[in-house]
């Protein structure tokens, strides 16, 4: 698990490290510069012409320090400072003085086309307003030129909090960020501008991170160790029984994909409760799953009682019978994964709960959901379903996803899996941002596979939030593995489900 910070937390980490731990700013700046150089030297030569494009703050100082060290090592370096030196920070002034004393060219107007390597040290994580005028022109010229760009901490022009482009922004080949991953480097469109990201340790103490209350994180391959271990003396009941209530007439695929993913993730038994018209298809496609019908004279209560974990929603449609099933399962205290039309039914149940203020509307509606649903129930909405559930515009979600995640998870124990290019899992103020996956996964049925993975982990005893975070990560890894073989254009949900097996192998952990 790796932590993610926003600009406020990172500034406080900086302040605490320098003012209370008493690590001098110049020491941090030198270490930052060395990390930038370590990344650059993997792919540059002394034939390259390097231009450090600097802003007036300490981000600029990091860049000047990197340029100075490269110059001393025999590289061709110049510095572009398109600001009056009087507005520069004290650390930046000191770095410029050292660079000047070493004979490095420092100018306010340099021909960018004469250089093939750019060190972007213009604006750091503190940028809060759109870039305009001369600096916008310089950034656009860099982007339009034939340059390789290495950004210091964050591509200039990207919001460290939201990933938004502040009118214009540097498109980097590589970004070397310091201490911890920044939100804006993971969220889109910032992720597209950052290129390859290196998170460099420059000496921030762990205590600084703990003091700011880090509550946002992402997973790496090492976190696959969280997958529950299999008991050698276990049986199918040991690994959990999952009931999947899914699939109306003509929608058997949703039930099939959820069931397949659930079994491949390790659940011991799966029963599909679906429309009777799907019987032949389901029993032919996935004979490993048990079958029951919700529109025949079945004892639905006994089927629900049989299950350890329940999925409801994929491909169900909205009818009176489906609404009754939603009522039945939400009255249980079993681990519950709610998707698709079950989410839309819940949205209708709370449609008259609102407020003129968006933040209060979200909190009121999620408070009501917490009253309706069992504790730790998992909801897996895509953006349109989330917009219906919260009674907000879909644009509000894309523009303010972190704030919305905080508001949804305020003062309740529900788990929100907010599916998108960067899926966010929120619960009780904690936020997981997923970095696995690819654009090929934006395909019908992909979400059904995810519900199955979540339920498969729940069936094996994981708690709801951790299971949801790990499932999203596994889902993305499976999509990445499948796309390596067939590409992103041809990727289908079934390919993602098939690839789960290789992610779950013990030798991958």
- At 114 the three-state DSSP class reads helix
Instruction: Please say whether the beta carbons of 497 and 444 come within 8 A.
Output: no
Q: Say if residue 508's pLDDT is above 60.
A: no
Q: What tokens does 172 get?
A: 């980097």
DSSP state of 451: H
DSSP state of 276: G
Q: Say if residue 106's pLDDT is above 60.
A: yes
Q: Say if residue 506's pLDDT is above 80.
A: no
pLDDT digits (tens, 9 = 90+) for 107-166: 998 899 999 999 999 999 999 999 999 999 999 999 999 999 999 999 999 999 999 999
pLDDT digits (tens, 9 = 90+) for 293-304: 998 867 899 999
For residue 6, what pLDDT is reported?
97
Task: Give the integer Cα–Cα distance in Å for 181 and 80.
Answer: 27
The pair phi, psi for residue 144, each rounded to 5°, is -85, -10
Q: What tokens does 492 get?
A: 């289908």
Q: Say if residue 364's pLDDT is above 60.
A: yes
Single out the residue of 375, 508, 378 nearest to residue 456, CA to CA. 378
Task: Give the integer Cα–Cα distance in Å for 247 and 255.
Answer: 5
For residue 46, what pLDDT is reported?
97
Q: What is the pTM of this model?
A: 0.95
Single out the residue of 132, 202, 121, 129 nearest to residue 154, CA to CA. 121
Task: Give the integer Cα–Cα distance in Å for 272 and 259.
Answer: 7
Q: Say if residue 382's pLDDT is above 80.
A: yes
Percent of the chain with pLDDT over 90: 94
For residue 507, what pLDDT is reported?
56
3-state DSSP of 310-356:
EEECCCCCCCHHHHHHHHHHHCCCCCEEECHHHHHHHHHHCCCCCCC
Single out the residue of 195, 127, 186 nearest to residue 158, CA to CA. 127
For residue 399, what pLDDT is reported?
82
Q: Is the peptide bond before 457 cis (omega within 30 degrees of 0)?
A: no
Catalogue all structural domains in the chain, each as residue range(s) with its CATH number: 14-212 (3.40.50.10260), 237-423+441-464 (3.40.1190.20)
Q: What is the mean pLDDT of the chain?
A: 96
The residues pairing with 136 across neighbouring beta strands, listed in sequence order, are none
pLDDT digits (tens, 9 = 90+) for 212-255: 999 999 999 999 999 999 999 999 899 999 999 999 999 999 99
- At 38 the three-state DSSP class reads helix
Q: ∠185-189-193 over CA atoms, to 5°?
A: 60
Q: What tokens does 339 get?
A: 């998707």
Beta strand pairing call for 216-218 and 2-5 = antiparallel
Task: Give the integer Cα–Cα distance in Å for 439 and 434.
Answer: 13
Q: What tokens does 163 get?
A: 């990933």
3-state DSSP of 392-444:
CCHHHHHHCHHHHHHHHCCCCCCEEEECCCCCEEEECCEEEECCCCCHHHCCC
The pair phi, psi for residue 217, each rounded to 5°, is -155, 170
pLDDT digits (tens, 9 = 90+) for 268-285: 999 999 999 999 999 999
- At 31 the three-state DSSP class reads helix
Q: Say if residue 90's pLDDT is above 60.
A: yes
Q: Say if residue 354's pLDDT is above 80.
A: no
Task: Give the integer Cα–Cα distance in Å for 192 and 406.
Answer: 24
Write the Ramachandran bin of 112: left for phi over 0, alpha for psi from -120 to 50, otherwise beta.
alpha
Mean pLDDT of 345-357: 89
pLDDT digits (tens, 9 = 90+) for 36-63: 999 999 999 999 999 999 999 999 999 9
Distance, first Cα to last Cα, the chain: 14
Single out the residue of 56, 47, 46, 118 nearest to residue 81, CA to CA. 56
For residue 509, what pLDDT is reported?
60
Where do the H-state alpha helices sit in 236-299? 252-265, 279-285
For residue 148, what pLDDT is reported?
98
User: Beta-carbon neighbour count of residue 501 at 10 Å?
Assistant: 12
User: Beta-carbon neighbour count of residue 69 at 10 Å?
Assistant: 16
């Amino acid at each position: 698990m790796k932590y993610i910070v926003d600009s406020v937390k990172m500034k406080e980490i900086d302040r605490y490290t320098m003012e209370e731990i008493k690590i001098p700013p110049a020491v941090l700046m030198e270490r930052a510069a060395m990390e930038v150089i370590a990344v650059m030297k993997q792919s540059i030569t002394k034939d390259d012409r390097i231009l450090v494009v600097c802003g007036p703050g300490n981000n600029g100082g990091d860049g000047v320090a990197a340029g100075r060290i490269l110059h001393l090592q025999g590289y061709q370096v110049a510095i572009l400072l398109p600001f009056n030196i009087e507005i520069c920070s004290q650390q930046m002034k000191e770095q410029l003085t050292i660079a000047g004393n070493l004979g490095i060219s420092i100018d306010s107007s340099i021909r960018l086309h004469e250089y093939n390597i750019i060190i972007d040290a213009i604006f750091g994580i503190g940028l809060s307003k759109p870039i305009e005028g001369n600096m916008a022109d310089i950034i656009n010229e860099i982007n339009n030129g034939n340059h390789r760009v290495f950004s210091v901490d964050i591509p200039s022009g990207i919001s460290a909090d939201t990933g938004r482009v502040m009118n214009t922004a540097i498109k980097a080949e590589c970004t070397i960020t310091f201490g911890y991953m920044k939100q804006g480097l993971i969220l889109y469109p910032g992720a597209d501008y950052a290129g390859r990201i290196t998170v460099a340790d420059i000496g921030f103490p762990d205590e600084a991170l703990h003091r700011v209350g880090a509550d946002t994180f992402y997973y790496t391959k090492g976190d696959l160790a969280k997958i529950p271990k299999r008991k050698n003396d276990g049986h199918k009941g040991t690994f959990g029984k999952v009931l999947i209530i899914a699939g109306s007439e003509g929608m058997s695929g949703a039930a099939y994909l959820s069931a397949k993913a659930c079994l491949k993730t390790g659940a011991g038994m799966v029963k599909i409760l679906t429309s009777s018209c799907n019987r032949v298809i389901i029993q032919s496609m996935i004979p490993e799953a048990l079958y029951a019908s919700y529109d025949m004279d079945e004892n639905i209560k006994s089927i629900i009682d049989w299950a350890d974990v329940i999925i409801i929603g994929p491909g169900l449609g909205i009818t009176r019978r489906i609404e009754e099933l939603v009522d039945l399962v939400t009255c249980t205290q079993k681990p519950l994964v709610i998707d698709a039309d079950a989410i839309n039914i819940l949205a209708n149940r709370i449609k008259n709960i609102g407020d003129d203020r968006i933040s209060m509307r979200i909190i009121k509606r999620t408070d009501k959901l917490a009253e309706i649903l069992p504790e730790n129930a998992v909801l897996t909405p895509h953006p349109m379903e989330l917009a219906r559930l919260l009674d907000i515009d879909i644009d509000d979600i894309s523009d303010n996803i972190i704030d919305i995640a905080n508001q949804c998870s305020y003062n309740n124990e529900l788990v929100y899996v907010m599916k998108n290019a960067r899926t966010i899992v929120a619960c009780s103020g904690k936020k997981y941002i997923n970095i696995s996956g690819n654009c090929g996964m934006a395909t019908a049925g992909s979400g059904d596979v995810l519900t199955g993975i979540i339920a498969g982990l729940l069936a094996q005893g994981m708690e709801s939030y951790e299971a949801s975070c790990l499932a999203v990560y596994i889902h993305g890894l499976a999509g990445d593995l499948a796309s390596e073989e067939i590409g992103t254009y041809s990727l289908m949900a079934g390919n993602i489900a098939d690839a789960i097996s290789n992610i779950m192998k013990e030798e991958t952990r």
